[in-house]
């Protein structure tokens, strides 16, 4: 199963709206025959990819697959039928497909045909592979992970705006790994104006030429200069600007950027509408890189699923730019907290990541400040 997990992980960020899945085939003697994975939506599923390499050697053997085989016809045929046609007699699965049109039906079909079913096997690891897909298939919105990098006193820049670099090279390389395995990166307009980022995944050993989509949310698209990196000839085609319906973003669309005209109020663009639109475009995972007011707005609306926080061993001071905008909390028990927390040393820095738990977070969102400019 770990071999199947490794195979699936090579396609993270590339399969949306489908999940990343890996499959290992063993022959009737338990010897490795082939390894497959789902590369992109519309291409062969992991089981079919592995079967194509195996030829007839998998007959009477075992399929080890990270996700329950599908039993329906979409852009490709059902994997259950492909496994049965190949003579697979045993299936070891990692986790059940959360898609309501699958959800146990694939395993039931295989059992009915006399295939031995074993599992779930390494379900936690297999679930981590499909967290974005699970969120998307149940809510039609992407899973939202917020990234923050701050000093020990919670600052992301000095009073003059200098922020490069708070964290060290190991932490920054880690960020690029996260970018690479997400479908899209979201930032606010303030971050774009201040840092002029490219928002690309720059890996030491890239797997392919894949780059995540780049999303910018703004209430005033005219405040974004067409000369910024995101709107230049290299990056504009992969950049989307979410702006209030009726606002003028023609100078950005003229350069190739996509414009989403979304509902807005006095606080800015509706972040719920933004996530709905992202989900409608098939995006299953969203990596948010700020700024602090955008992150606070997402938290206040309970739209953040997970947080990855990099802490650098330095102090910037109270006059520096805070990592997080106001949440208007008056009771500590109402504050969102992280659960299933993991702490990972990265050089001199620490990465703290976990899922967001809103239980008891009773603050209301209508009084949240403007957060996108």
Task: Report yes or no: 178 and 287 within 8 Å, Cβ to Cβ.
Answer: yes
Q: Is the peptide bond before 326 cis (omega within 30 degrees of 0)?
A: no
Q: Which residues contact 284 (CB under 8 A, 6 or more apart)?
A: 16, 17, 132, 133, 135, 136, 142, 143, 183
Q: Which residues of 93-114 are buried (b: 16+ CB within 10 A; e: fewer)?
A: bbbbbbbeebeebbbebbeeee
Choose among 36, 44, 40, 102: nearest CA to 69.
Answer: 102
Which of 142, 147, 166, 145 is CA-nearest to residue 292? 147
Catalytic residue ranges: 47
- Which one-letter DSSP state was computed for residue 334? G
Contact by Cβ (8 Å): 291, 191:
yes
Element of type H or E holding 279: helix 271-280
For residues 320 and 316, give the distance between their C-alpha atoms in angstroms, rounded to a whole number: 6
Q: Which burial class, exposed, middle or buried, applies to 373 when counting CB atoms under 10 A from its CB (0-12, 13-18, 19+)?
A: middle
Length of the chain: 373
Q: Of 29, 35, 21, whose CA–CA distance to 106 is shortest?
A: 21
Report the distance separating Cα 190 and Cα 198, nearest Å. Answer: 14
Which residue from 275, 298, 338, 312 is spatially nearest to 139, judged by alpha carbons?
275
């Amino acid at each position: 199963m770990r071999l199947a997990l490794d195979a699936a992980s090579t396609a993270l960020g590339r399969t949306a709206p489908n999940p990343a899945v890996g499959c290992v085939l063993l022959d009737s003697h338990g010897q490795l025959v082939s390894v497959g994975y789902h590369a992109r939506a519309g291409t062969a599923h992991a089981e079919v990819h592995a079967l194509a390499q195996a030829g007839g050697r998998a007959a009477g053997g075992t399929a080890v697959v990270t996700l329950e085989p599908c039993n329906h016809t979409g852009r490709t045929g059902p994997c259950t039928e492909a496994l049965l046609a190949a003579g697979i007699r045993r299936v070891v699965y990692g986790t059940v497909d959360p898609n309501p049109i699958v959800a146990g039906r694939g395993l039931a079909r295989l059992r009915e045909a006399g295939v031995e079913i074993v599992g779930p096997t390494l379900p936690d690891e297999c679930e981590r592979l499909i967290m974005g897909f699970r969120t998307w298939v149940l809510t039609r919105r992407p899973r939202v992970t917020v990234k923050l990098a701050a000093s020990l006193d919670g600052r992301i820049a000095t009073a003059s705006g200098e922020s490069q670099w708070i964290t060290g090279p190991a932490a920054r390389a880690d960020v690029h790994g996260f970018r690479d395995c997400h479908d899209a990166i979201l930032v606010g307009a303030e971050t774009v104006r201040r840092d002029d980022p490219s928002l690309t995944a720059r890996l030491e050993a890239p797997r392919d030429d894949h780059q995540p989509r780049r999303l910018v949310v703004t209430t005033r698209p005219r405040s974004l200069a067409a000369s910024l990196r995101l709107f230049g000839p290299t990056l504009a085609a992969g950049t989307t600007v979410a702006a209030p319906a009726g606002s003028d973003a023609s100078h950005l669309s003229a350069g190739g950027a996509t414009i989403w005209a979304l509902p807005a109020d006095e606080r800015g663009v509706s972040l719920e509408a933004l996530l709905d639109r992202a989900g409608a475009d098939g995006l299953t995972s969203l990596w948010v890189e700020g700024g602090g007011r955008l992150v606070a707005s997402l938290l206040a609306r309970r739209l953040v699923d997970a947080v990855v926080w990099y802490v650098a061993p330095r102090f910037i001071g109270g006059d520096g730019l805070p990592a997080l905008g106001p949440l208007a909390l008056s009771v500590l028990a109402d504050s969102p907290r992280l659960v299933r927390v993991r702490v990972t040393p990265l050089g001199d820095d620490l990465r703290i990541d976990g899922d967001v738990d809103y239980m008891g977070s009773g603050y209301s969102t209508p009084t949240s400040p403007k957060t996108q400019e």
